[in-house]
Amino acid sequence: GAGVSQSPSNKVTEKGKDVELRCDPISGHTALYWYRQSLGQGLEFLIYFQGNSAPDKSGLPSDRFSAERTGGSVSTLTIQRTQQEDSAVYLCASSTQGGANSPLHFGNGTRLTVT
Amino acid sequence: AQRVTQPEKLLSVFKGAPVELKCNYSYSGSPELFWYVQYSRQRLQLLLRHISRESIKGFTADLNKGETSFHLKKPFAQEEDSAMYYCALRSQGNLIFGKGTKLSVKP
Give per-residue pLDDT as tens, B43-100.
999 999 887 778 889 999 989 989 999 999 999 999 999 999 999 998 877 889 999 9
Q: Report pLDDT for B10.
A: 96
Are B90 and A100 a contacting pair at CB < 8 A?
Answer: yes
Return phi, psi of residue A72, to 5°: 70, 15
What's the DSSP call for residue A74?
Answer: -
How confident is the model over A82-94, as a mean pLDDT?
96
**Chain A residues lying within 8 Å of B90, measured CB to CB:** 98-100
Report yes or no: B102 at the A interface, CB cutoff 8 Å.
Answer: no
Q: Report pLDDT for A99.
A: 59
Q: Report pLDDT for A60.
A: 95
Shortest Cα–Cα distance, A16 to chain B (Å): 28
- The Cα A79–Cα A25 span in angstroms is 20
Are B93 and A43 a contacting pair at CB < 8 A?
Answer: no
| E-only strand ranges, chain A | 5-7, 10-13, 19-24, 31-38, 42-50, 65-69, 75-79, 88-95, 105-106, 110-114
Residue B51: closest C-alpha in chain A: A100
Q: How many residues does chain B have?
A: 107
How confident is the model over A9-19, as a mean pLDDT?
97
Give Cα A27 distance to the centre of its chain. 17
Q: Report pLDDT for A39.
A: 78
Q: Report pLDDT for B54.
A: 82
Mean pLDDT of chain A: 92
Q: Answer whether residue A61 shows pLDDT above 90.
A: yes
Q: Compare CB distances from B94 to A45, A100, A107 and report the shortest one's residue.
A: A45
Q: Answer whether residue A108 shows pLDDT above 80.
A: yes
What's the DSSP call for residue B67?
Answer: T
Q: Answer whether residue A40 shows pLDDT above 80.
A: no
- The Cα B97–Cα A45 span in angstroms is 8
Which residues are within 8 A (CB) of A45 and not within 5 positions of it... i.e. 6 or more apart?
Answer: A33, A35, A58, A59, B94, B95, B96, B97
Q: Report pLDDT for A98.
A: 61
Q: How confident is the model at residue A69 (pLDDT cuts 50, 70, 90)?
A: very high
Range picked from A28-37, A94-103, B49-58 for highest mean pLDDT = A28-37
Which residues are within 8 A (CB) of A76 and not within 5 positions of it... i.e. 6 or more apart?
Answer: A20, A21, A22, A23, A67, A68, A70
Q: Answer whether residue A13 shows pLDDT above 80.
A: yes
How confident is the model over A56-71, as a mean pLDDT?
93
Q: Answer whether residue A101 shows pLDDT above 80.
A: no
Tell me: the pLDDT tens digits for B17-45?
999 999 999 988 888 899 999 999 999 99
Chain B residues 55-74 with CB within 8 Å of chain A: none
